[in-house]
Amino acid sequence: MNAERAQEIIQSKDTIPVHLDDGQSVWIEKVDKANGVATVQVGTKPGNTQTVDVDRLREVH
């Protein structure tokens, strides 16, 4: 995924499933387009956040 698409997902009114490249379900919280990273919540635990390269994000179809 690229940073632009990650930002579109955040702004979407629809819930769009996203996984990390290792299969973990994530919720994108914010995107840093300049650095190509996103802060994501992993799973359902609000405190479990990570900053990852946006190219590790996969939109689930």
Span 1-46, pLDDT tens digits: 999 999 999 999 999 999 999 999 999 999 999 999 999 999 988 8
Domain count, the chain: 1
Q: What is the Cα–Cα distance from 16 to 30, expressed in whole angstroms?
A: 15
pLDDT mean over 45-52: 91
CATH code: domain of residue 26: 2.30.30
With cut-offs at 50, 70 and 90, classify the pLDDT of residue 61: confident
Residue 16: domain span: 3-59
- Label residue 3 left, alpha or beta by phi (over 0 means left) and psi (-120 to 50 means alpha): alpha
DSSP at 2: -
pLDDT at 44: 85
The confidence score (pLDDT) of residue 10 equals 96
